[in-house]
Amino acid sequence: MNRRSVLKKYNNKKILLKIVFLAAMIILGFSRFILHDQKQYADTSGDWRLILVDKNHYIPKDYQMNLIRLSNGKQVDSRIYPSLQKMFNDARANGLALFVREGYRTAQDQQQIMNERIREYENQGYSKPQATKMAEKYVAIPGTSEHQLGLSVDINANQTKCSSEKVYSWLDNNAYKYGFIKRYPSNKSYITGIHNEPWHYRYVGKEAAATMKNQNLCLEEYLKKYNDLYNKDFFILSNKEIPVDPRIIQKNFRKICKANDIDATFHTLRHTYATNCIKTNIDVKTLSETLGHANVNITLNRYVHTSLDFKKQQINKIEPPIKP
């Protein structure tokens, strides 16, 4: 191989490495904000009955509702009250004794419930991270609970008069007629992220509830099918409804590097990214937060590696002393 061919191959590798570095810089430098740090808030501009809140869609801080107090002191959004009362009247006419155990909750209420569930698992010997992960399968993260919308109720049986099974069965077969859906059925946990809750009913309106019941859809599936809720602009390198798995990005990155004899890892690119940011005078505090570091010392001491040329440039910035 002659010298020109070697140089051409070397230059091609340099170009490819720059492309790979740019992609990694975008992914590693900013995906933390897009996919983790920045909360994605629920869209409240459309039909209020179909607002989706879950671990990926937080309730906007300015969300407002008019609450009405039930006879047992629980509260719900006043707009669902007529349908809720009609459903309860008909259920009672069928010999069922039921009541609203939970309605509207504040963020503080939700946090207390979460803390109590976490403590339960910790008392069973689980670590704090393990207990938290397990608790989140049953309790919504504060800010993502439908109870905070005032549109959901937990309905229980008065077991001195009838069984929970009878109440849950009647609700499962009839709640949709009044605009309510079983929000977290057992066969949809892989979508909703919440385990089976036969007592938790959410108001979505009669038309949507009937469609979901007839087509066996949960709210997420209904919105995906009929409302095109999912905004693809929030996802990196994917036209699907979920972000690309980081492991896939790493696998493709290694494949490109191996095919072109490039010795680089994602972590070395983080170091390069940090160094180049400092060279271009990006604020070190901003850089540290972007990289997810606890403080700027980690960024400066572990991630920034200045070259000899850069050091010379910095030294040359010093003004020479004025000669007398």
Q: Cα separation of 57 and 147, whole Å?
A: 14
Residue type, 4: R
Q: Is there a domain that residue 23 lies in?
A: yes
Which one of 228, 263, 293 terminates a domain?
228
Residue type, 146: E
Q: Is there a domain that residue 134 lies in?
A: no
Q: Is there a domain that residue 307 lies in?
A: yes
* Contact present, 205 and 161 (Cβ < 8 Å): no
Tokens coding 292: 């997810």
Q: Cα separation of 70 and 49, whole Å?
A: 20
Position 276 scores a pLDDT of 83
Whether 254 and 216 map to the same domain: the answer is: no
Contacts with 217 (C-beta within 8 Å, 6 or more apart), sequence order: 211, 225
Residue spans of alpha helices (H) in the chain: 3-31, 81-93, 107-123, 128-135, 164-174, 189-192, 206-215, 219-226, 246-259, 266-279, 284-291, 296-298, 308-316
Whether 162 and 220 map to the same domain: the answer is: yes
* Contact present, 221 and 204 (Cβ < 8 Å): no
φ and ψ of 23, to 5 deg: -65, -45
Whether 203 and 287 map to the same domain: the answer is: no
Number of separate domains in the chain: 2
Whether 213 and 71 map to the same domain: the answer is: yes
HEC assignment per residue over 130-154: HHHHHHCCCCCCCCCCHHHHCCEEE
Residue type, 276: N
Whether 215 and 263 map to the same domain: the answer is: no
Active site residues: 197
Q: Is there a domain that residue 190 lies in?
A: yes
- Residue-wise over 310-323: b if at least 16 C-beta within 10 A, else e? eeeeeeeeeeeeee
Q: Is there a domain that residue 272 lies in?
A: yes
Whether 223 and 241 map to the same domain: the answer is: no
Tokens coding 59: 């309730």
Which one of 196, 228, 260 terminates a domain?
228
Contacts with 304 (C-beta within 8 Å, 6 or more apart), sequence order: 271, 274, 275, 278
- What distance lies between CA 273 and its chain's CA centroid? 27
Whether 195 and 165 map to the same domain: the answer is: yes
Q: Is there a domain that residue 323 lies in?
A: no
Whether 188 and 57 map to the same domain: the answer is: yes
Q: Pick the closest to residue 202 from 178, 169, 221, 225 (CA basis).
A: 178
Position 12 scores a pLDDT of 61
pLDDT 10s digit of each residue in the chain, 324 long?
A: 555 554 455 556 666 666 655 565 555 554 444 444 457 888 888 899 999 998 889 999 889 899 999 999 999 999 999 999 999 999 999 999 999 999 999 999 999 999 999 999 999 999 999 999 999 888 888 999 999 999 999 999 999 999 999 999 999 999 999 999 999 999 999 999 888 999 999 999 999 999 999 999 999 999 988 875 444 444 445 444 555 566 667 777 777 888 778 887 777 778 888 888 877 888 888 887 877 777 778 877 776 776 666 666 666 766 666 655
The CB density around residue 217, as the number of other CB atoms within 10 Å, is: 19
Q: Is there a domain that residue 251 lies in?
A: yes
Whether 91 and 196 map to the same domain: the answer is: yes
Whether 183 and 288 map to the same domain: the answer is: no
Whether 71 and 189 map to the same domain: the answer is: yes
Which one of 208, 228, 248 terminates a domain?
228
248 DSSP β-pair partners: none
* Contact present, 85 and 116 (Cβ < 8 Å): no
Whether 33 and 55 map to the same domain: the answer is: no
**Residue 291: helix, strand or coil by DSSP?**
helix
- CATH number at 79 reads 3.30.1380.10
Structural domain span for residue 284 = 3-37+237-316
Q: Is there a domain that residue 119 lies in?
A: no
